[in-house]
Amino acid sequence: MRALLTFDVEVWCNTWSDLDSVFPQAFERYVYGSSRGGQFALPKTLEILRRNGLHGVFFVEPLFAARFGLEYLRTIVELIQDAGQEVQLHLHPEWTDEISPPPLPNATAKRQHLRYYTLEEQTTLIALGARLLQDAGAPRPTAFRAGNFAANADTFLALAANDIWCDSSIDATMPDSVPDLRDKFDLYGAREIAGVSIFPVAVFEDGLGQLRHAQIGACSARELVQAMQSAREFGWSSFVVLSHNFEMLKVKAVAPDWVVVKRFEVVCEYLARHREELPTGGFEDLHVRASAGGSLLPKVGMVPTMRRYAEQALRRCL
């Protein structure tokens, strides 16, 4: 089973007013995360992957560069590629009405989710994002993830129209993720839609019987390790782990969240020790098959879940 370590790389100003004045500081926080302890955004993520010899897939959001300039996007792409990691396409279309000239004829109001756009509009925005990444020095993207996982059936048609044949936009725990497809099939296993190979973010059943997506900042390391072990036992061909460029930072602060830092290090060290049975890599050469849903969801025990609750309480105190 392949472990897919995926990272959504985004820059946010935390406001839509006075963007030009707040952007430089936001870029510094989200990309570098500099503090007295080091740089705990992209640089620390890349360093931990390098130290453990692991492959990560970095879904980079490029539309902000159409507002602030390609040099910022180029910096992100170079950081990732110089570390030997993979750049793919991420899209948060709420940037659309901030771009001049507008990429769409009616881009006059903010529409947060990609599923709020028509097939033609989605096709145009995906093409723009792919072009921006390439202009910043990345290869033509071959994989995609919608911002907030808010894709719909049209998204996969738009990807096919842009010759992008791998996607990781489905997350069964997120209500805005493919609401028009939820009654068609389970959202857990890899499958094809419109010729596009779909690899959802991994979802498991925690020790309390609740569904949880496999996110570094939202699970204990023991939960993630047990979920991967369980998925492998159930015959899953891939297990998609989610993180972000800013996930090892405290919320609304430029300081490391040491609990999350430790989680990520523990998960990466585990994968390094078990690289033969759980190799990391990208999406493209994976075998796609409808699989793992319902009773075959990975399961973890009560102790790893209680560990998460204790860690979350500790995070609020630190």
Q: Mean pLDDT over residues 285-299, rounded?
A: 69
pLDDT digits (tens, 9 = 90+) for 165-215: 999 999 999 999 999 999 998 899 899 999 999 999 999 999 999 999 999
Q: What is the DSSP annotation of 230-281?
A: HHHHTT-SEEEEEEETTTTB-TTSSSB-HHHHHHHHHHHHHHHHTTTTS-B-
pTM score above 0.85: yes
In the chain, the amino acid numbered 193 is I
Q: Mean pLDDT over residues 28-52, rounded?
A: 95
Judge contact between 52 and 274, C-beta under 8 A: no
pLDDT digits (tens, 9 = 90+) for 221-240: 999 999 999 999 999 999 99
Q: Residue ranges of the domains in the chain?
A: 2-317
Q: Is 7 helix (H, G, I), strand (E, B) or coil?
A: strand
The burial of 145, by beta-carbon neighbours within 10 Å (0-12 exposed, 13-18 middle, 19 or more buried), is given as: buried
Question: Which CATH superfamily is 2-317 part of?
Answer: Glycoside hydrolase/deacetylase (3.20.20.370)
pLDDT digits (tens, 9 = 90+) for 84-129: 999 999 999 999 999 989 999 988 889 999 999 999 999 999 999 9
Q: From residue 69, give the alpha-carbon distance in Å to each of 58, 138, 189, 274.
A: 20, 16, 38, 42
Q: Mean pLDDT over residues 3-29, rounded?
A: 95
User: Would you give the distance in Å from CA 73 to the centre of its chain?
Assistant: 17
